[in-house]
Amino acid sequence: MADDTIFRKILHGEIPCDKVYSDEFCLAFRDIAPQAPIHVLVIPRRPIESLRSAVESDQTLLGHLLLVAARVARQEGLNDWRTVINSGTGAGQTVFHLHVHVIGGRPLAWPPG
């Protein structure tokens, strides 16, 4: 459940993070197991389990998360980057609190995984 995750603990200051951006709607911090030189996670402060559980009223928040992801990428000096949202275990989601991966700083192959 999205309200009992490591990200909730990070949001509540119970676990430290390497913060790169914060506002009233979201928090962005460096991934502890980066897949590239730059790997930042952008998470909403309000728990949403995954993109598949988002609802119409989440539209503004979801757009904000993507704009923050782009802002963070530019802030990190990236001209090219990958933005990833995994939805469900089969897609690689391991923390069930919606999060946007911002990955870059090296050439990224396609298809991933």
Q: Any idea which residues carry the catalytic annotation? A: 99
CA angle 41, 8, 92 (to 5 degrees): 50
Rounded to 5 degrees, what are φ and ψ at 104?
A: -175, -170
Letter string b/e over residues 56-83, b meaning 16 or more CB atoms within 10 A of that residue's CB: eebeebbebbeebbebbbeebebeebbb
CB atoms within 10 A of CB 98: 28
